[in-house]
């Protein structure tokens, strides 16, 4: 010690001082840890010296399956996210309390190879225990597990409430369920701010909402009903809004969630009503390309995809690439089978079009498949699908012709509206009876009225569109080097039809429709739809709300069909509107319209709300919101709509149904407390990643915690619709 220098003494002193400070600062932490180990974290002695306060097992699996008589296992639906997996919920049968949430091994969203329903429950449960391995596990993800916290959250809304101050001021009073129903139905001077029409006054299916524009429909259209999406009870909201009340204005959150992607996919699939989208055949796909989505992190069903990806990575013949601006977790440890390709945000369409150009230039597309012009040719070739790649399109900028498919009716006044193609002999013929059409066509045709038009095949137009930019220009737009673009397109087309491109959330942007269309076009070029190793559309669902032996949920006395124009102007062309016709008749240019019109897509909750607040094309009088939160979900909407929503002159009555307060619900006049999904009934469908037809049934596994109605029923969305609809 005598040989230590002054500098060394200082180092030793500082180290000793640091250790002393550390020990002092963590003294209480160490004490609490020791107390918790000996006496339990709550200051009470733990139930067991070894297992502390761990849950008592639901059964003994050592000798088959001996169920704990104090617990029950209930299979139901999760609502931790919109995947809505099947879960098994452990319930303390004596206390009526949920103990734990895990996966349902019978459910396709909770296991990639779910158990057959013929397997006994005891056998299935025993396989989940002990050392059966990961293959037998069926788990809930982190969000699913936190459903327990939501169920018993102190922040839950449990009683009906009415605002006691100005709208959005945050002042509330508790009221009975019956008072809430009476006031919203009958209306009156509800807040000391003047008369407010109730639902009874708004429910007028005869009088027009605007006598100057009868095409807008009846006054019933002045009720807006919105639902976040189908959690299993969407049928009841639609039944009330559309078929009982008769309002044309019903919407869900899709327009500010996945509508851009789904509409782009729907356009490619030729179905803009259901907007189908595809998922890969994970068991057989050899090359998977993820653009705008990362398997196991995003895209539905992400938990199922996580297991499918893990299984696929064990195969020697599988590779995948994730295109994303940031390094996704699913490629961090993916060795040589998974690759990350960074891209400039929002430029997926540039990368997709670059790949399309490379594929066409290098003739790596499936020409035999693309040449099939119709269903008859598809069947003759023993294929599963066909395209309009050979159908002729009018490209001249002529009124009522530009961009239209050329049909027999264009060529013959008595012809049908059937698309035409150029066959292998060079003749223009009907697509339906042609076995193969020409892919590259540019022609001049003379119509019966003497007009000359230029027509091109759909594939020719795709080629020309892709050739508008060079690979260098595409590379500059997306930030991916030219050689990597070529290598990606080459890899994608080296596996025949056992390749797939998948997208999802990354398409939810202003250019999402066209981006999704371009990305999904890659699947079309190799012809992989409904084939082993390719992509498929989900198997669909069973109708959970139809007429049955006990209840008629689909047909009922007084059922109506909504009439008029949706305030969002969806599924309606501006040129067909009264506004357009009246301006044209007055000799005034009908353009521009006051706001956009949407001839192809439905829903448009973003437009429903903003249009209502602006009174275009007509104002609303009431809004019933079920679990929606557009002020939070729509970028920028809060800045333009929040203050207007606070003004009862713009929207006289706002009723929110929710289990929790949110940014939008906070502006409501009345709040109807809703049940947790573990407390209510519902029927939901698996996402597109499940090939078989299936429906998830949910039911009350524990009693509802919400206040009771006079009839002893829990206050809920269903109770409000029933009582409110009956009263109005």
Residues 293-303: tens digit of each pLDDT:
888 777 778 88
Q: How far apart are CA 677 and CA 605, in angstroms?
A: 24
Average pLDDT over residues 336-347: 91
- Give residue-wise pLDDT tens across range 223-239: 999 998 889 999 999 99
pLDDT of residue 1: 46
Residue-wise pLDDT tens digits, 635-681? 889 999 999 999 999 999 999 999 999 999 999 999 999 999 999 99
CA atoms 691, 695, 701, 706: torsion sign: positive
Q: Find the mean pLDDT for residues 310-334.
A: 86
Give the helix/strand (H/E) hosting 99.
strand 97-103
Residue 485 is predicted with a pLDDT of 98
Q: Is the pLDDT of residue 22 over 60?
A: no
Rounded distance between C-alpha atoms, residue 37 and residue 711, angstroms: 49
Q: Over the chain, what is the mean pLDDT?
A: 90
| pTM for the predicted model, two decimal places | 0.89
Query: CB–CB of 299/501 below 8 Å?
Result: no
Residues 243-275 pLDDT 10s? 999 999 998 887 778 888 889 999 999 998 888
Q: Which is more confident, 564 or 112?
A: 564
- What is the tens place of the pLDDT at every residue in 92-146? 999 999 999 999 999 999 988 889 999 999 888 888 877 766 777 888 999 999 9
Element holding 715 (H helix, E strand): none
Picking from 2-16, 306-320, 507-521, which range would have the lowest pLDDT averaged per residue? 2-16
pLDDT at residue 590 tops 80: yes
Nearest partner of 377 among 424, 443, 440, judged by Cα: 424
Q: Report DSSP state, residue 244.
A: I
> What does the block give as tokens for 404?
């239209």
pLDDT of 518 above 80: yes
Assess whether the previous peptide bond of 301 is cis (omega < 30° from 0).
yes
The yes-or-no verdict on residue 503 having pLDDT over 60 is yes
For residue 10, the model assigns a pLDDT of 59
pLDDT at 700 over 80: yes
How much is the CA Rg of the chain, to the nearest whole Å?
31
How long is the chain? 728
Residue scoring higher pLDDT (687 or 286)? 286
Please determine, for residue 337, whether its predicted confidence score (pLDDT) is greater than 60: yes
| φ and ψ of 422, to 5 deg | -100, 120
510 compared with 631, residue with greater pLDDT: 631
- The domains found in the chain, sorted by start residue, are 30-54 (no CATH), 61-151 (no CATH), 161-257+564-677+707-727 (3.40.50.740), 259-366+464-537 (3.40.228.10), 383-458 (no CATH)
pLDDT given at position 40: 57
Residue 155: pLDDT over 80: yes
Percent of the chain with pLDDT over 90: 68
The pLDDT value given to residue 334: 58
């Amino acid at each position: 010690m005598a040989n230590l220098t002054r500098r060394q003494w200082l180092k030793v002193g500082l180290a000793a001082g640091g250790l002393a400070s550390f020990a002092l600062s963590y003294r209480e932490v160490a004490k609490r840890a020791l107390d918790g180990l000996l006496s339990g974290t709550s200051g009470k002695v733990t139930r067991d010296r070894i297992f502390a306060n761990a849950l008592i097992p639901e059964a003994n699996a050592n000798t088959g399956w001996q169920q704990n008589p104090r617990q029950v296992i209930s299979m139901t639906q999760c609502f931790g996210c919109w995947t809505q997996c099947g879960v098994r919920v452990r319930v303390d049968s004596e206390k009526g309390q949920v103990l734990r949430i895990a996966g349902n091994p019978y459910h396709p969203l909770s296991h990639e190879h779910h158990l057959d329903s013929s397997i006994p429950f005891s056998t299935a449960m025993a396989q989940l225990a002990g050392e059966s391995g990961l293959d037998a596990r069926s788990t809930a993800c982190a969000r699913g597990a936190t459903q327990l916290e939501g169920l018993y959250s102190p922040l839950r809304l449990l009683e009906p409430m009415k605002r006691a101050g100005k709208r959005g001021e945050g002042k509330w009073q508790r009221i009975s369920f019956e008072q809430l129903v009476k006031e919203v139905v009958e209306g009156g001077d509800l807040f000391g701010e003047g008369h407010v029409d109730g639902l009874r006054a708004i429910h007028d299916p005869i009088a027009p909402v605007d006598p100057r524009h009868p095409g807008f429909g009846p006054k019933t259209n002045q009720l807006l009903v919105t639902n976040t999406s189908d959690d299993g009870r969407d049928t009841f909201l639609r039944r009330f809004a559309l078929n009982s009340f008769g309002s044309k204005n019903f919407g869900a959150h899709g327009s500010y969630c996945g509508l851009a992607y789904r509409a782009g996919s729907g356009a490619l699939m030729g179905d803009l009503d259901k907007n189908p989208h595809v998922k890969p055949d994970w068991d057989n796909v050899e090359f998977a390309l993820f653009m705008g989505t990362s398997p196991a992190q995003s895209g539905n069903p992400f938990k199922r995809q996580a297991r499918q990806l893990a299984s696929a990575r064990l195969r020697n013949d599988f590779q995948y690439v994730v295109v994303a601006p940031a390094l996704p977790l699913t490629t961090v440890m993916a060795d040589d089978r998974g690759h990350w390709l960074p891209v400039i945000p929002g430029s997926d369409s540039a990368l997709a079009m670059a790949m399309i150009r490379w594929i066409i230039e290098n003739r790596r597309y499936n020409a035999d498949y693309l040449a099939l012009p119709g269903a008859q040719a598809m069947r003759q070739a023993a294929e599963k699908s066909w395209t309009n790649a050979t159908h002729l399109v009018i490209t001249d900028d002529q009124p009522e012709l530009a961009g239209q498919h050329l049909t027999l009716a264009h060529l013959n006044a008595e012809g049908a509206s059937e698309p035409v193609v150029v066959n292998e002999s060079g003749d223009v013929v009907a697509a339906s009876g042609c076995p193969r059409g020409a892919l590259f066509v540019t022609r001049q045709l003379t119509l019966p009225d003497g007009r000359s038009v230029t027509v091109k095949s759909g594939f020719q137009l795709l080629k020309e569109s892709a050739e508008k930019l060079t690979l260098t220009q595409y590379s500059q737009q997306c930030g991916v080097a030219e050689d990597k673009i070529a290598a990606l397109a080459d890899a994608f087309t080296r596996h025949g039809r056992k390749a797939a491109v998948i997208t999802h959330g990354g398409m939810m942007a202003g250019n999402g429709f066209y981006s999704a269309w371009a990305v999904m076009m890659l699947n079309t070029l190799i012809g992989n739809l409904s084939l082993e190793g390719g992509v498929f559309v989900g198997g669909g669902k069973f109708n959970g709300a139809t007429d049955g032996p006990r209840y008629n949920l689909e047909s009922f006395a007084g059922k109506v069909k909504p009439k008029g124009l949706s305030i969002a102007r969806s599924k309606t062309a501006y040129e067909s509107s009264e506004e357009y016709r009246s301006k044209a008749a007055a000799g005034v240019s009908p353009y521009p319209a006051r706001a956009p019109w949407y001839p192809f897509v439905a829903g448009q909750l973003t437009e429903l709300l903003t249009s209502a607040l602006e009174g275009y094309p007509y104002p609303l009088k009431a809004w019933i919101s079920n679990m929606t939160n557009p002020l939070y979900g729509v970028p920028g909407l809060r800045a333009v709509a929040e203050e207007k929503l606070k003004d009862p002159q713009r929207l006289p009555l706002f009723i929110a149904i929710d289990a929790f307060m949110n940014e939008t619900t906070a502006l409501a006049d009345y709040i109807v407390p809703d049940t947790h999904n573990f407390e209510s009934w519902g029927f939901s469908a698996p996402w597109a990643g499940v090939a078989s037809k299936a429906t998830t049934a949910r039911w009350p596994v524990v009693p509802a915690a919400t206040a009771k109605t006079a009839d002893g029923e829990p206050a809920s969305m269903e109770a409000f619709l029933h009582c409110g609809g009956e009263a109005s």
